[in-house]
């Protein structure tokens, strides 16, 4: 097992799909989105005929009210394949003031498209940072049990240093997906990701399980394998720890970035189909963030919308990539947030989180 010592030419830079840039060039940044992606690993293929009817049917307006059924059972809903569609949706974010975003689609099993992301970046003028490593175990390629940790490590490092398709390079490791309790394969991916971070200076972004202990265990595994917890983005806190203040505080004290990345997902029916998942509202997200800021953790907060299904996009009646800028920021101002606090969350924290060590 080898982990090369870091001596990265990327140190102090952010790596986008069009090449390295200065962190100060990022501006307003959403740190967890998907422009081209599929979530087909989550397809439920239910027994019930009326649910199976969703499998091959297109997403249409009459189905948008049935989000708990659409969410798990519709192939069309699980796919964002159309590049022109992605450009149109991303431009709404740009027109609202967005300058950069992270596409956290992992390297295999969820449709990552390096050249597609590069084209979208050129077409929109947005800086796009591409993900790497592996998502949840449902998306692993066949034979993953036998895949050596070293091979995964080298894949992640190569994505960052030499690039994936067409030489397009990853600028962040993840989203690394996890369920709870962690399996041997998930631990293997976490160790390989941490070693790749130590070798390249790249940040890591994590998709934890909705279980308190998941977060701490993941941070500990990453730290033991050489990653700096302060350079880890812990994602999805909105539906894992949002309503559990002591657990949130404990995680914040571990020093990682704290990402509330499903702003706009306010449909509580999603919890019906996934027991244990608590889908909160944007107000609850804001209150959790304000709790963390009161505890001195402003500099760790990141936000995003994790757009990954059709119903979340504006074309299908969703709130889209501009939701935080158009709907949440004005609410934060009304709640008394200062410009300095807004800039920290939208500009300065993402810049620090995405800068290579
Ligand atoms: Zn995601």
Residue 20 forms part of a structural domain: no
Please tell me the distance between residue 184's alpha carbon and the centre of ligand 1 in angstroms: 22
Please tell me the distance between residue 106's alpha carbon and the centre of ligand 1 in angstroms: 9
Whether 268 shows a pLDDT value over 80: the answer reads no
Residue 278 forms part of a structural domain: yes
Quote the pLDDT of residue 301: 98
Please tell me the distance between residue 261's alpha carbon and the centre of ligand 1 in angstroms: 8
Residue 63 forms part of a structural domain: no
Contact between residue 42 and residue 138 where contact means Cβ atoms under 8 Å apart: yes
Q: Residue 285's domain spans which residues?
A: 27-43+78-354
Q: What is the pLDDT of residues 39-82, one digit of tens each?
A: 999 998 889 999 999 999 999 999 998 888 888 899 999 999 99
pTM summary value:
0.96
Please tell me the distance between residue 110's alpha carbon and the centre of ligand 1 in angstroms: 10
Pick left, alpha or beta for residue 320 (phi over 0 → left; psi -120 to 50 → alpha; otherwise beta). Answer: left
Please tell me the distance between residue 237's alpha carbon and the centre of ligand 1 in angstroms: 12
Residue 348 forms part of a structural domain: yes
Quote the pLDDT of residue 2: 54
Please tell me the distance between residue 91's alpha carbon and the centre of ligand 1 in angstroms: 20
Please tell me the distance between residue 229's alpha carbon and the centre of ligand 1 in angstroms: 20
Q: What DSSP string describes 93-140?
A: HHHTT--EEEE---SSSS---HHHHHHHHHHH--EEEE--S---GGGP
Please tell me the distance between residue 131's alpha carbon and the centre of ligand 1 in angstroms: 10
Residue 237 forms part of a structural domain: yes
Residue 176's DSSP bridge partners are 206
Please tell me the distance between residue 235's alpha carbon and the centre of ligand 1 in angstroms: 8
Q: What is the pLDDT of residues 318-332, one digit of tens each?
A: 999 999 999 999 999
Q: Which residues contact 181 (CB under 8 A, 6 or more apart)?
A: none
| Domains contained in the chain, number | 1
Give me Rg for the CA atoms of the chain.
Answer: 19
Mutual angle of helices 212-224 and 184-200, in 10-degree steps: 50
Residue 2 forms part of a structural domain: no
Contact between residue 131 and residue 104 where contact means Cβ atoms under 8 Å apart: yes
Q: Residue 270 maps to which CATH number?
A: 3.20.20.140
Cα–Cα distance for residue pair 35/283, rounded to 1 Å = 26
């Amino acid at each position: 097992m080898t982990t090369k010592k870091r001596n990265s030419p990327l140190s102090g830079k952010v790596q986008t799909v069009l090449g390295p840039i200065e962190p100060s060039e990022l501006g307003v940044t959403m740190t967890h989105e998907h422009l081209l992606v599929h979530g087909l690993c989550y397809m439920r293929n239910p027994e019930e005929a009326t649910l199976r009817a969703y499998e091959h049917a297109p997403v249409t307006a009459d189905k948008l009210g049935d989000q708990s059924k659409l969410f798990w059972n519709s192939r069309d809903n699980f796919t964002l394949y159309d590049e022109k569609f992605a450009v149109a949706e991303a431009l709404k974010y740009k027109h609202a003031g967005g300058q950069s975003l992270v596409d956290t689609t992992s390297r295999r099993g969820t449709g990552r498209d390096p050249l597609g992301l590069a084209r979208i970046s050129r077409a929109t003028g947005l800086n796009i940072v591409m993900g790497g490593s592996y998502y949840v175990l449902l998306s692993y390629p066949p034979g993953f049990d036998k895949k050596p940790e070293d091979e995964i490590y080298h894949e992640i490092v190569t994505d960052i240093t030499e690039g994936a398709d067409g030489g397009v390079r990853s600028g962040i490791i993840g989203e690394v997906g996890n369920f709870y309790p962690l399996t041997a394969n998930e631990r293997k991916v976490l160790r390989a990701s941490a070693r790749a971070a130590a070798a390249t200076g790249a940040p890591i972004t994590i998709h934890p399980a909705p279980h308190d202990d998941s977060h701490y265990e993941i941070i500990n595994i990453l730290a033991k394998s050489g990653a700096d917890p302060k350079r880890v983005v812990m994602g999805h806190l909105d539906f894992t720890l949002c309503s559990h203040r002591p657990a949130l505080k404990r995680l914040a004290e571990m020093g990682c970035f704290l990402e509330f990345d499903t702003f706009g997902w306010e449909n509580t029916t999603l919890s019906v189909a996934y027991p244990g998942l608590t889908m909160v509202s944007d107000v609850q997200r804001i209150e959790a963030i304000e709790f963390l800021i009161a505890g001195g953790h402003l500099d760790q907060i990141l936000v995003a919308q994790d757009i990954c299904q059709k119903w979340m996009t504006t074309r299908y009646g969703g709130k889209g990539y501009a939701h935080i800028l158009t709907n949440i920021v004005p609410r934060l101002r009304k709640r008394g947030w200062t410009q300095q606090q807004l800039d920290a969350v939208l500009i300065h924290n993402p810049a620090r989180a995405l800068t290579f060590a």
